[in-house]
């Protein structure tokens, strides 16, 4: 694929405005099979949140997980002379762009920036040194969560030296350091007033700090600042980090493919394939398109798309899908859907358009604190009007409830996340912790989640008591040796576990999707499906008489015959995890969760697994593709459920992205692991039960902390408003309750519970 490398002088030419609306089509000329192709980019979802002269704030959901998009956006902005700066905050899906008002009018800024956003969605935009050379330093390095504490700490140090220590330090220097340390609080207060048209707790903090500082109570101001910024730092620290990988089920496809045109085979770039082309796929290759088989038969591994570990046989007339792997056989496929229009492509789009959740329990706490701002200001004003005493008014403003809430809630969240990590559970955000405490519906993928995700032998049946199970395994292993099929490999493992000798194999013939015939010990041995043995003239009646329940068990079966006589059968399955039954029972009985199971497997096998786990048949969803899994999660959301999805495969990523809280395993696919809000690092489902317990415990502690903060502050507020209180005493009450609540919030770490 040819890359579109943009340099500073070229960027503006790729940005256009049409009737004040975003209109962008990036085109690249590609000469493929003698024709030129023009491409239209997929739309990047965004929302203009706020616009003022010289500044725009935009919400772009994909920046939370798409690091490459972020790099392209920053690079394009850095190369554009109109843009003065860009700041990305992936945890909130927020982008702030500042531009030169002399070069761009406010009326045109939205369309201009919209075009830039869309252009960054072009995967052909190469990130070159020329593009990134103007990037600002803060875009090139990771900013520490704790850097905001530097100035408050410095101001506190100077206040101590100039106050209790008694050194001769100018009040101007101390006051100046406090002013500098207060700037982040002032900025947040002003942004809220300008953008959201209301007063927030930062404004209350700013007012109290200003009054106290003006009265030269420097240490009081500094203690307030340290606690405020500590709460902000912890809150940011517990936000979901944005290092998730971008899912691309199509990324591993070959860049060139074979097609048949006018009766001749030719190799062309993948981008040159068009609908109605006949695509040829050989063993070991991934299918590059969605379509139907015109000729051939093959054993296809659909694990990447459906999550199922067992390959399936596809023949003439069957549908096949991009990103699936041809293990054996050769196919001629009529191409019907390409690229983003394939099932795999639609899965990618589902993830990219997944909702961005930014409601965190810490934000709810901040909103509660914001609600008391106006009443506190009015009360402070009333006290000043009645007493003309600035100190008493400052005392009222200092007791603001906000500090305790803003410190204790994030502290509890961080402590719970740390406690979970010590127990092998990675919880990536405060929001995930919050949702874990609320979940009432849990959707499990079957393969690799409730089951082990591999093939194992679960039974050996003989057609006659004179035949030993060991002989059945001996013949099957001899025939299947060196065959790269999951069932053949499972038989070989089982033979080794049972210490069965592997006999030499003579002439043999393997038939895709059916079985194998081989000469072993002078006998013609057949190992394969029921259809294969019946086609070869073997009568299975003797085996059916000895084991009438063989087919009712629901296990896939391999049959073994020798010299035309049935000898026995081997049953195999993807066995349940050892802990699955216990976990499902606990989730249902202890937490009252509604349990659902999703799978790409057949309905018969899905029902068999559900029966073992006592999952209601009406909550079992079989033969589900990735987009259908996501739709089921969305349907539960619409019903008012708080949904957790547990999965480990690429095919689960869309459902993981749409769940309220998504859970995967350390050994899951890279994309599932990075999409997930919670990762079970010990690869054990019991970690899910433990995570919910930790989350609910954290919620209880947060409720306790509300009481710890409210009671002393309400009492202090009553005293300050009536008989008066020294600002330092008010600060001690306010900050003291905050510290006690914060220490209580640390209980999950300190006690390990």
Residue 515 near residue 528 (C-beta atoms within 8 A): yes
Residue 517 near residue 508 (C-beta atoms within 8 A): yes
Tokens of 225: 């600042």
Tokens of 753: 């519970």
Q: Is 635 exposed, middle or buried (0-12, 13-18, 19+ CB in 10 A)?
A: exposed
Residue 4 near residue 28 (C-beta atoms within 8 A): yes
Sign for the pseudo-dihedral over CA of 619, 624, 628, 633? positive
Dist. CA 23–CA 31, nearest whole Å: 25
Q: Is 26 exposed, middle or buried (0-12, 13-18, 19+ CB in 10 A)?
A: middle
Residue 598 near residue 655 (C-beta atoms within 8 A): yes
Q: Is 746 left (phi over 0), alpha (psi -120 to 50) or beta?
A: alpha
pLDDT in tens, 418-427: 888 888 998 8
Dist. CA 720–CA 8, nearest whole Å: 60
**Residue 317, phi then psi, degrees to nearest 5:** 95, -15
Q: DSSP alpha helices (H): ranges in 450-579?
A: 469-480, 486-497, 530-535, 541-546
pLDDT of 200 reads: 76
Residue 110 near residue 21 (C-beta atoms within 8 A): no
Tokens of 450: 């409730």
Residue 567 near residue 472 (C-beta atoms within 8 A): yes
pLDDT at residue 110 greater than cutoff 90: no
Question: Treating both helix axes as pointing N-terminal to C-terminal, what angle do 402-422 and 686-722 enclose, rounded to 10 degrees?
Answer: 160
pLDDT at residue 7 greater than cutoff 50: no
Tokens of 486: 């999951």
Residues 6+ apart with CB under 8 A from 557: 530, 550, 551, 569, 570, 571, 572
Write the CA distances from 507 to 11, 206, 299, 533, 739, integer angstroms.
Answer: 66, 87, 22, 18, 80
pLDDT in tens, 70-81: 888 888 888 787
Region 112-128: mean pLDDT is 75
Dist. CA 182–CA 213, nearest whole Å: 11
* Angle at 691 (CA atoms; ends 685, 696), nearest 5 degrees: 140
Q: Of these residues, 80, 277, 400, 445, which one is catalytic?
A: 445
Dist. CA 33–CA 274, nearest whole Å: 11
pLDDT at residue 126 greater than cutoff 60: no
Residue 328 near residue 298 (C-beta atoms within 8 A): yes
pLDDT of 352 reads: 62
Residue pointed to by tokens 């943009």: 6
DSSP secondary structure, 284-299, as one string: TPBP-SEEEEEEEEEE
Model confidence at 249, pLDDT cuts 50, 70, 90, reads low
Tokens of 671: 């994309």
Dist. CA 427–CA 401, nearest whole Å: 28
Dist. CA 398–CA 726, nearest whole Å: 10
pLDDT in tens, 446-493: 888 998 888 899 999 999 888 999 999 999 999 999 887 888 999 999
pLDDT of 2 reads: 34
Model confidence at 367, pLDDT cuts 50, 70, 90, reads low
| CA-based nearest residue to 393, from 377, 405, 373 | 377
pLDDT in tens, 597-656: 998 888 888 888 999 999 999 999 988 887 888 899 999 999 999 999 998 877 787 888
Residue 660, CB-side half-sphere exposure with 13 Å CA sphere? 22
pLDDT in tens, 383-393: 888 888 777 78
The least confident of 67-81, 140-154, 631-645, 672-686 is 140-154
Model confidence at 13, pLDDT cuts 50, 70, 90, reads very low
Regarding beta strands 508-511 and 456-462, do their DSSP bridges make them parallel or antiparallel, or are they unpaired?
A: unpaired
Instruction: List domains and CATH numbers for the chain.
Output: 4-140 (no CATH), 147-237+359-414+697-751 (no CATH), 256-341 (2.70.150.10), 425-450+578-681 (3.40.50.1000), 456-573 (3.40.1110.10)
Tokens of 19: 């009737």
Based on the residue annotation, tell me whether 652 is a catalytic residue of this protein. Answer: no
Other residues' Cβ atoms within 10 Å of the Cβ of residue 554: 16
Q: Which residues pair with 18 in a beta bridge?
A: 21
pLDDT in tens, 520-550: 988 999 999 999 999 999 999 899 888 888 8
Helix (H) or strand (E) holding 143: none
Dist. CA 451–CA 51, nearest whole Å: 51
Dist. CA 351–CA 245, nearest whole Å: 11
Dist. CA 303–CA 300, nearest whole Å: 9
Region 356-369: mean pLDDT is 56
Q: Measured in whole angstroms, how far is the alpha carbon of residue 746 from the centre of its chain?
A: 27
Region 709-725: mean pLDDT is 84
Region 5-26: mean pLDDT is 36
pLDDT of 707 reads: 87
pLDDT, averaged across the chain: 80
**Residue 477, phi then psi, degrees to nearest 5:** -65, -40
* Angle at 96 (CA atoms; ends 90, 100), nearest 5 degrees: 150
pLDDT in tens, 566-593: 999 999 988 899 999 999 999 999 999 9
The least confident of 49-53, 296-300, 360-364, 375-379 is 360-364
Dist. CA 646–CA 669, nearest whole Å: 13
């Amino acid at each position: 694929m040819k890359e579109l490398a943009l340099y500073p002088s070229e960027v503006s030419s790729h940005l256009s405005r049409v009737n004040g609306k975003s209109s962008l089509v990036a085109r690249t000329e590609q000469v493929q099979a003698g024709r030129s192709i023009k491409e239209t980019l997929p739309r990047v979802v965004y929302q203009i949140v706020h616009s003022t002269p010289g500044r725009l704030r935009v919400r772009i959901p994909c920046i939370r997980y798409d690091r490459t998009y972020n790099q392209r956006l920053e690079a394009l902005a850095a190369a554009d002379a109109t843009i003065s700066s860009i700041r990305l905050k992936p945890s909130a899906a927020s982008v702030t762009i500042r531009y030169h008002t002399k070069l761009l009018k406010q009326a045109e800024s939205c369309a201009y920036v919209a075009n830039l956003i869309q252009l960054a969605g072009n995967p052909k935009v190469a990130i070159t040194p020329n593009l990134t050379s103007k990037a600002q330093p803060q875009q090139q390095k990771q900013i520490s969560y704790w850097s905001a504490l530097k100035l408050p700490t410095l101001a506190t140090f100077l206040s101590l030296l100039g106050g209790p220590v008694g050194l001769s330090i100018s009040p101007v220097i101390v006051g100046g350091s406090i002013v500098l340390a207060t700037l982040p609080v002032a900025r947040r207060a002003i942004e809220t007033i300008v953008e959201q048209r209301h007063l927030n707790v930062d404004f209350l903090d700013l007012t109290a700090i200003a009054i106290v500082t003006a009265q030269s109570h420097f240490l009081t101001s500094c203690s307030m600042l340290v606690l405020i910024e500590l709460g902000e730092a912890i809150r940011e620290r517990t936000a979901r980090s944005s290092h998730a990988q971008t899912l691309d089920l199509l990324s591993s496809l070959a860049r060139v493919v074979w097609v048949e045109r006018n009766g001749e085979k030719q190799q062309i770039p993948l981008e040159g394939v068009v609908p109605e082309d006949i695509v040829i796929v050989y063993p070991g290759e991934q299918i590059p398109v969605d379509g139907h088989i015109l000729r051939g038969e093959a054993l296809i591994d659909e694990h990447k798309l459906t999550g199922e570990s067992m390959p399936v046989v596809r023949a003439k007339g069957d549908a096949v899908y991009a990103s699936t792997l041809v293990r054996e056989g050769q196919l001629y496929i009529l191409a019907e859907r390409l690229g983003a229009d394939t099932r795999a492509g639609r899965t990618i789009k589902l993830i990219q358009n997944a909702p961005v959740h930014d409601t965190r329990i810490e934000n709810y706490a901040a909103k509660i604190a914001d609600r008391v701002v106006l009443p506190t200001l009015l009360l402070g004003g009333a006290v000043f009007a009645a007493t003309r005493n600035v100190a008493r008014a400052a005392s009222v403003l200092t007791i603001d409830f906000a500090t305790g809430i803003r410190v204790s809630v994030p502290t509890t969240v961080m402590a719970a996340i740390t406690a979970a990590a010590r127990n092998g559970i990675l919880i990536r955000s405060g929001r995930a912790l919050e949702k874990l405490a609320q979940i009432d519906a849990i959707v499990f993928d079957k393969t690799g989640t409730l089951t082990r995700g591999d093939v194992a032998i679960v039974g050996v049946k003989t057609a006659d008591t004179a035949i030993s199970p060991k002989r059945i395994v001996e013949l099957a292993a001899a025939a299947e040796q060196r065959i790269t099929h999951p069932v053949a490999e499972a038989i070989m493992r089982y033979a080794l576990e049972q210490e069965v000798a592997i006999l030499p194999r003579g002439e043999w013939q393997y038939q895709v999707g059916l079985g194998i015939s081989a000469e072993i010990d002078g006998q013609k041995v057949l190992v394969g499906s029921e259809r294969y043995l019946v086609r070869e003239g073997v009568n299975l009646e003797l085996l059916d008489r000895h084991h009438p329940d063989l087919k009712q068990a629901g296990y896939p079966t391999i049959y073994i015959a020798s010299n035309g006589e049935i000898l026995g059968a081997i049953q195999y399955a993807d066995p349940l995890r050892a802990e699955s039954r216990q976990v499902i029972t606990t989730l249902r009985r202890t937490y009252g969760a509604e349990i659902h199971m999703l799978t790409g497997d057949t309905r018969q096998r899905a029902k068999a697994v559900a029966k073992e786990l006592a999952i209601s048949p009406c909550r079992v969803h079989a033969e589900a593709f990735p987009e259908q899994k996501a739709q089921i999660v969305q349907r539960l959301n619409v019903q008012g459920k708080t949904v957790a999805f547990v999965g480990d495969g690429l095919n689960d990523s869309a459902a993981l992205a749409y769940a309220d809280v998504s859970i995967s395993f350390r050994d899951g696919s890279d994309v599932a692991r990075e999409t997930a809000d919670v990762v079970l690092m010990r690869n054990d489902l019991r970690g899910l039960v433990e995570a919910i317990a930790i989350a609910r415990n954290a919620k209880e502690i947060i409720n306790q902390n509300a009481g710890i903060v409210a009671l002393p502050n309400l009492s202090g507020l009553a005293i300050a408003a009536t008989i008066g209180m020294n600002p330092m005493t008010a600060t001690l009450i306010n900050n003291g309750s905050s510290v006690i609540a914060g220490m209580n919030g640390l209980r999950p770490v300190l006690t390990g519970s």
